Structure formats: structure tokens, C-alpha cells
Amino acid sequence: MSTPHNAAKMGDIAETVLLPGDPLRAKVIADNFLTDAVQFNTVRNMFGYTGTYEGKRVSVMGTGMGCASIGIYSYELIHMYGVKNLIRIGSCGGMQEYVKLGDIVMAAGASTDTNYAHQYHLPGSFSAVASFDLLSKAVEEAEKNQFPYIVGNVLSSDIFYNETPEWKDWAKMGVLAAEMESFALYCNAARAGVRALGIFTVSDSMVSQEEMSAEERQNGFTNMMKVALGVAVQL
């Protein structure tokens, strides 16, 4: 079965998929972490690959930026291709002084300034949360590898270049970091009864205005990938 956004056939995609925003990052992951990776999608240059990691079949696919984009790709992966475990991997901007560059942030929950959950006609505000099973496995992997990590709430924002410093209001509520996709991913997973988790590397700080160097980004990305793949092999 193909869709307007994915040329894969049923069976081409594993039940566990890693989801970077950047499709070229999906290619880097396939080339450097997966064995015998085969490309299953090039539609709209949103690359997807399936291979093995430590004998476990794993897929990786780009999602683009924002809730609207990951909403489309994750919905199709779940409903058209039978994906059961979706692990978002990416970068985030720290919103607390104690959230340091290179830390791994695991999104136990995702707040948002989007209207994505409007479609469900809920009589209130939906709390979008990660799969505890995936989250607990990610914590175990970070502990095992002695990677610095923090678990908590993130902000999935529609706005990258914001005209006002609204992040400070979210920070007062204890939100750890900002990214752009997890809320929609968690909503789609909750509605379908599958598992999802967002794992991020802190690439910059809104508090200190620091940014990671290219080398630091690469090292931080590698640590995050080891955690995500460590979870994938257990599923």
C-alpha cells in the first residue's frame, strides 16, 4: 500500500521506526548504524530506510518540521503500515538553567501552542504523554551508558522565530526544552493505541544563549542514537 507521501509496500517498514525531522539525517542513520539498509521511500525527498541493528529489524524515516508534518507521516506509519513503536529523535532548545548543552532530554510529556488536538473534539485539554515502557527503557540505556539525561515536559511549538519571549512563561511551568513535533506524535499514538517517545539532544540554550559546536552536535547525536537504538532492540 502506498500513500501520497510514502511509496513503501506493506512489509517494507519495521514495527519500530526512528523519526528524525531531517530526511538527510535518516540517511546518515541508515548508513552508519543499520546493517543492510534498504530505502523504502523517496517521495517528496522524505527518505525512509529499513535495516537491522544488533539483529533487530528497525526503520528510520524523516518527518519534516512541525506537528502538521509529523502528524501526516506518523499517522500513515501507524494506520497504513502497522508501525507499533515510534521514537522521535532530534535536537531541542533548553529552557531551564540546569538543562545543559549535550544533555539528553526524554519527553515524558509534551505541551503545545498548536491546535492539533482540536480534531478529537475533547471537552478539555489533552495531556500528551510518552509510552512509559519506551521511556523506562530509554532511561535504562542512558544509565547504562552514563549519558547525562533529564526526563520531563517539553514544548512542541509551531513557532521557531517567535516575536515574543513566550518560552519564559512555559519555563515557569517547569518545561525543560522546546522542539516542534512530539505533541502530534503522542496524540496520534494515543488515539491508535501504539507507543511513542521523543528523545532529544540539547543543542542550544534559550537561557544562556549558548550553542553546541558542530563536533559537540555530532557527539551528542551519537549518544542519543545509542539510547534510541538500545530501546529499539528490546522491542
- What averages of pLDDT result for each successive group of 10 residues across the chain (235 residues)? 93 98 94 97 98 98 98 98 98 97 97 98 98 98 98 97 96 98 98 98 96 78 96 98
Q: What is the mean pLDDT of the chain?
A: 96
Count Cβ atoms within 10 A of the Cβ of residue 168 and give its class: 0-12 exposed, 13-18 middle, 19 or more buried.
Answer: exposed
Catalytic residue among 31, 103, 113, 204: 204
**pLDDT value for 38:** 98
pTM over 0.85: yes
Provide the residue ranges of all domains of the chain, joining segments of one domain with +.
Answer: 16-232
Strand 149-156 versus strand 104-112 pairing type: parallel
Whether residue 204 lies in the annotated active site: yes
**pLDDT value for 77:** 98
16-232 to CATH, choices 2.40.30.10, 3.40.50.300, 3.40.50.1580, 2.40.50.140: 3.40.50.1580
CA gap 28, 167 in Å, rounded: 31
DSSP conformation letters of the chain? ---SS--PPTTSS-SEEEEESSHHHHHHHHHHH-EEEEEEE-GGG--EEEEEETTEEEEEE---SSHHHHHHHHHHHHHTT---EEEEEEEEEE-STT--TT-EEEEEEEEESS-GGGGG--SS---EE--HHHHHHHHHHHHHHT--EEEEEEEE-S-SS-SS-THHHHHHTT--EEESSHHHHHHHHHHHT-EEEEEEEEEEETTT--B--HHHHHHHHHHHHHHHHHHHTT-
**pLDDT value for 81:** 98
CA-wise closest residue to 199 among 167, 222, 216, 173? 222
CA gap 186, 189 in Å, rounded: 5
